[in-house]
Structure formats: C-alpha cells, structure tokens
C-alpha cells in the first residue's frame, strides 16, 4: 500500500496558526473572475443597482449589458418619469442577441402608467427567450405575455384580462401564479389554463370572475396539474365559488396537493355544501396533501370548509397529511380543539393520514 | 486490487489532490458532483488520484462538505460563515470544478452582501480600484442618472 498523508475534510475557522480573518480582502479578486460569473452575481440584484456597477471601474463598465435578468420596481426611483426612462434604457441598451431569461416588473403607480408603455416592452421581452416572468401592475394584460414558446414560470398581479381575442399558447409553462387578477369573462381563464398543457403548479389568489355559471361544462382538462392553491377574497362576493372549485377539481385528474383559503366573510347559507354525484377522481385516488389556510374559527357557520375537509377524509385513499394552517400567531385553542374533535371523529378512508395543526 | 472492482461504484473511493498538496479521499458519487472531475474520470477510467491545481486544501474541504450536506436549510446558513475573500475563492473553486448548485449559492451570497449599496461601498468591499477618469465617471453618472438617485445611505 502506498503511504501518503490523507487528511479528512474539516473546517478550520479559528486556527491560531493562521492570521485572523479580516472582512475586507486585500486583493481585488472579483475583477479577475470571468464575465459570466460577474453576470451571475449581478443577476440576483435589482437592475437599478446593476446599471450603477458601470461606475465601479473600466472593467465593470459594460458588464451590466450582459446580465440575463431584469428586475425593475418603480418605488426605488425618484419619480415615475425617472422609472420610465430608466426602464427604457435598461431594456433596450442591452445586446439584442442576448436572451432575457428572467424579467420582473413591479409598478404600483396606477395613474401614470400607460398601457402602451407596458405593451411595447412586453412584446420585446417576450421574444428574447424568457423563462421566468413576474409582472405586478394594474393595466390591461398585454397579449404578447400569454403567447410565448419559452416561458416556464409566470406570475401576474393586479392585471386585467380583457378584450382578449388573441392566441394563448404557453407550451412550456410549468408554474402559474395569479394574484388579484381580473378576468372579464370566465372563458378567458379556461382558455388560459388550456393553453398550458404541462402546467403542474397553479395558484389562484383572489381572482375575480364575474360570470361563472354552474354546470355549464366550464373547464377543460388539466392533465398535468399536481399542485393547486386557491384563495377566495374577503372583498369580492362569489356565492357559487365552492361549486366552481369542485368543477375545477373534476378536471384535475392528477392533483396531489391542494390548499384552500376561504377569506370570504359572507354567510354560507346561500352556498350549502352539496356533495357531488360522483367523487372527483383526484380526491379519491391522487390527493396526498390537503391544507386549509387561515380557517376562521369565529365564523362558526362557515362550516362548508369543515364539511369539505371531512368529505376529503372520507373519500381520499392516499391522503397522507391534512394541515390546518394559521398564518397569524393568535390561535383560539378551544376552537382548534373543537375542529380537531370534529375532523378526527369522521370516517377516514386513508390508513396513513395524519392531521397537523400549524403553528 | 480485485476487491475494489467488485464493490458497488457508489462506495468506490477517489483521491483528490489540492493545489497545496493536501489529499482528500471521497466517494465516487460525491466526486461526480464536480463535473470537471467527472470529465477527468470519463477520460481516464483507472485514475485514483485527481489533481485539482486551482483550489487550496482549505477550500476543497469546504466544497466537499457542501456537496455532502447541501439542502435548503444548510444552504441558507452556509454562506454566513465566510468572509468576502473566502466567498470569492470558493466561487472560483466552484466554477473551476463546475458545481452548479454551489456556484448559484455563492453568487446569491455575494449578491446579498452588496445589494442596495452605493458604488463606493461596493468598491471598498471588493477592493476595486477606481481607475475611471473623472470625465468618464461624470459621463456615466449623467448617462445613467436615474440609477444613482435614491440609493440607501451606506
């Protein structure tokens, strides 16, 4: 056997034989790193600061032009005009042959923002090989955003889907998160969901759909969907929302994870829980986890969520965790105990399920 | 020896030699996370000791431990232990060894330390010498003026 010194990996942080570690380097190592690594570091920083790195030294002057992500937020700018001018420069000065892999745009100024401005840069950005898009602003949704061959992750907030006769095609989309998005017609939502054949993760938080009619064969199949998060808004009245939810569940044949937050304050008297004629396939055979978020213990008449939870327990063969999640710190222990008693006393179909209260 | 060949490939050991001569014995499946090492193995199948000329023993140790332990929790705490000098050297190591997970973690860590800071602060942190001429600097400040308004006080 050869005899060589073999040292086990170990961390020597406060080794007395070394000089004490100081927080500032004595050598400029960073400028020796290849451009691609510098761009990788800058891809995690808001674009406003990325452009400012041009000032660091001549070596850094043009690095920002090759960073493949853009992150623009209006409130970090002096005023809206500055933001608009900067956005224009940030998007259009870059080398046009380079892709934009990730684009985040957040504008809370409702008055000054003009649809054409958003539409122009959206059309440009969507053709640059984008994979990850996050837009938060209250204008009409530009048509180019829902027609993109490269997009994998899409997050939209506050936008309005209206006058939408354009094509929707998102063949690579895996994750779709909509927050406070208005749909002029329910069929726009259906069309959107049908245009993402490989969609696995869907979040619909406080979306607004004015014209949903029960039983009208509203949804098309969502064959790849594994994870669904639905939040019903406190401020928008939607009496038949649970029927809507059930119709959607009928179409998600492979759903494994479901989270529901029902913040609506209205009395559920108009919205009696009616068991569907047949148990939706995903509930009986695919669902692994179910989570009720921010169940409002004080509206004790909000029993529909409790009844739905029991329905799931009664029918889900492979459910392994049911979670009652409370995002605030205040917990009414009595109400929680009541809920625990109610749920654990109903019949459970799955042999391995556990009931979890968080926190 | 004959016994080595009959073991499952995941328990086969490999030796990595750092630039300062320190040797590390690692399992094959750990070494394979370093794509540069993987390429080396693909080229010369019977190799037992692989030289890593660009990485000091101290940093190679940290890299190996990262590969063994990486998960969301570990990554979140990982970067807090190192000063800027070490972070950069680790990043160079991760880049050379082609370990994408570690490179991503380190780039994020460095980004976090300079986020929302002025160019003057960033220069100090990295020890960058400002060899822009005053005219050049003035020109850039004017051209991208919106980028310089409203920055956090350091």
Which tens digit of pLDDT belongs to each residue from B89-103? 999 999 999 999 999
Of residues A11, A52, A76, nearest to B62 (C-beta): A11
* Residue B6 pLDDT greater than 50, yes or no: no
Of residues B64, B126, B150, nearest to A9 (C-beta): B64
Q: What is the pLDDT of residue A29?
A: 83
Indicate the pLDDT class of residue B66, thresholds 50, 70 and 90.
very high
Query: Both tokens of residue A143?
Result: 């048509």
Report the 10 Å Cβ neighbour count for B27.
15
Instruction: Give the residue with greater pLDDT, B78 vs A304.
Output: B78
Q: Tally the residues of chain A.
A: 359
CA atoms of A357 and A339, how far apart (whole Å): 10
Q: Tally the residues of chain B.
A: 154
Nearest CA in chain B to A90: B144
CA atoms of A132 and A152, how far apart (whole Å): 6
- Cβ separation of B103 and A30 shorter than 8 Å? no
Q: Which of A56, A71, A74, A75 to mutate to test the interface with B (most CBs of B within 10 A)?
A: A56
Of residues A4, A49, A61, nearest to B115 (C-beta): A49
Partners of residue A34 in chain B, C-beta under 8 Å? 95
Instruction: Find residue A72's DSSP bridge partners.
Output: A105
Segment B102-123 shows an average pLDDT of 92
Omega within 30 of 0 (cis) for the link into A359 = yes
Q: What is the pLDDT of residue A270?
A: 53
pLDDT along chain A (359 residues), means of 10: 47 47 66 90 95 92 94 91 92 90 92 88 93 95 94 96 92 97 92 95 94 78 95 85 89 95 68 79 93 76 77 91 84 81 82 85
CA atoms of B149 and B144, how far apart (whole Å): 10
- Share the mean pLDDT of chain A: 86
Q: What is the pLDDT of residue B150?
A: 67
Q: What is the pLDDT of residue A306?
A: 82
Measured between alpha carbons, how far is residue A286 from residues A118, A202, A318, B128, B138 in Å? 41, 16, 6, 56, 63
**pTM beyond cutoff 0.90:** no
Q: Which of B126, B137, B140, B154 to mutate to test the interface with A (most CBs of A within 10 A)?
A: B126
Q: How many angstroms separate the most distant Cα atoms in chain A?
A: 83
Write the Ramachandran bin of A313: left for phi over 0, alpha for psi from -120 to 50, otherwise beta. Answer: alpha
Which tens digit of pLDDT belongs to each residue from B9-54? 456 888 999 999 999 999 988 998 999 999 988 888 777 889 998 8
Q: What is the pLDDT of residue A6?
A: 52
* Residues B137 and A70 sit within 8 Å (Cβ to Cβ): no
CA atoms of B104 and B111, how far apart (whole Å): 11
Nearest CA in chain A to B111: A41
- Starting at the earlier edge strand, list the strands of the sheet with B13-17: B23-27, B13-17, B49-51
Instruction: Find residue A147's DSSP bridge partners.
Output: A169
Report DSSP letters for B115-152, one per residue. TT--HHHHHHHHT------HHHHHHHHHHTHHHHTTPP
Write the Ramachandran bin of A225: left for phi over 0, alpha for psi from -120 to 50, otherwise beta. Answer: beta
Which tens digit of pLDDT belongs to each residue from A289-298? 999 998 876 6
Burial level of A346, CB count in 10 A (0-12/13-18/19+)? Answer: middle
Q: What is the pLDDT of residue A302?
A: 58
CA A329 to chain centre: 24
Report DSSP letters for A130-155, one per residue. --EEEEE-SSBPPGGGGB-SS--EEE
Report DSSP letters for A255-270, one per residue. --EEEEEE---S-GGG
Of residues A12, A21, A82, nearest to B149 (C-beta): A82
Residue among B12, B50, B49, B46 nearest B29 (CA): B12
- Determine contact: A55 vs chain B, CB below 8 A: yes
Measured between alpha carbons, how far is residue A224 from residues A193, A201, A272, B129 in Å? 11, 9, 30, 53
Q: What is the pLDDT of residue B102?
A: 94
Tell me the shortest Cα–Cα distance from A195 to chain B, in angstroms.
32
Q: What is the pLDDT of residue A330?
A: 73
Tell me the shortest Cα–Cα distance from A359 to chain B, in angstroms.
19
* Residue B140 pLDDT greater than 80, yes or no: yes
Nearest CA in chain A to B127: A28
CA atoms of A65 and A47, how far apart (whole Å): 10
- Share the mean pLDDT of chain B: 86
């Amino acid at each position: 056997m050869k005899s060589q010194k073999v040292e086990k990996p170990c961390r020597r942080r406060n080794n007395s034989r070394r000089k004490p570690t100081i927080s500032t380097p004595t050598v400029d190592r960073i400028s020796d790193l290849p451009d691609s690594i510098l761009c990788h570091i800058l891809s995690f920083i808001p674009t406003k600061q990325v452009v400012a790195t041009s000032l660091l030294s001549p070596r850094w002057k043009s690095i920002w032009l090759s960073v493949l992500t853009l992150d623009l937020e209006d409130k970090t700018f002096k005023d809206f005009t500055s933001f608009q001018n900067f956005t224009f420069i940030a998007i259009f000065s870059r080398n046009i042959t380079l892709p934009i892999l990730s684009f985040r745009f957040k504008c809370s100024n409702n008055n000054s923002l003009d649809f054409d401005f958003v539409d122009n840069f959206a059309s440009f950005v969507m053709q640059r090989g984008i994979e990850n898009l996050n837009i938060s602003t209250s204008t009409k949704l530009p048509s180019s955003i829902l027609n993109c061959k490269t997009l994998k992750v899409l997050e939209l907030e506050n936008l309005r889907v209206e006058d939408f006769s354009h094509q929707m095609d998102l063949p690579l989309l895996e994750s779709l998160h909509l927050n406070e998005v208005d749909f002029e017609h329910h069929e726009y939502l259906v069309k959107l969901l049908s245009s993402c054949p490989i969609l696995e993760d869907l979040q619909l938080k406080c979306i607004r759909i004015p014209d949903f009619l029960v039983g009208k064969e509203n949804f098309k199949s969502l064959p790849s969907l594994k994870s669904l998060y639905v939040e019903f808004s406190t401020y928008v009245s939607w009496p038949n929302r649970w029927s809507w939810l059930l119709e959607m569940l009928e179409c998600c044949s492979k759903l494994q994870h479901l989270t529901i937050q029902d913040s609506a304050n209205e009395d559920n008297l108009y919205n009696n829980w009616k068991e569907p004629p047949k148990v939706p396939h995903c509930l009986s055979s695919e669902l692994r986890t179910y989570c009720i978020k921010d169940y409002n213990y004080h509206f004790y008449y909000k029993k529909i969520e409790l009844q739905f939870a029991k329905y799931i327990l009664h029918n889900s063969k492979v459910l392994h965790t049911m979670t009652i999640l409370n995002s605030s710190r205040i917990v009414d222990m009595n109400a929680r105990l009541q809920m625990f008693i109610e749920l654990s006393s109903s019949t459970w179909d799955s042999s391995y399920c556990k009931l979890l209260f968080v926190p | 020896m004959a016994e080595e060949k009959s073991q499952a490939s995941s328990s086969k050991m490999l030796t990595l030699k750092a630039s300062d001569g320190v040797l590390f014995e690692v399992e094959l499946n750990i070494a394979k996370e370093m794509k540069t090492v993987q390429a080396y193995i693909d080229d010369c199948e019977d190799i037992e000791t692989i030289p890593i000329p660009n990485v000091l023993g101290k940093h190679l140790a940290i890299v190996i431990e990262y590969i063994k332990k990486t998960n969301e929790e570990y990554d979140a705490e990982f970067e807090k232990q190192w000063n800027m000098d070490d972070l950069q050297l680790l990043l160079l190591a991760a880049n050379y060894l082609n370990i994408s997970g570690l490179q991503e973690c380190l780039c994020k860590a460095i980004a976090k330390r300079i986020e929302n800071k002025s160019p003057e602060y960033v220069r100090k942190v990295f020890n960058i010498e400002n060899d822009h001429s005053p005219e050049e600097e003035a020109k850039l400040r004017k051209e991208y003026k919106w980028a310089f308004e409203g920055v956090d006080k350091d």
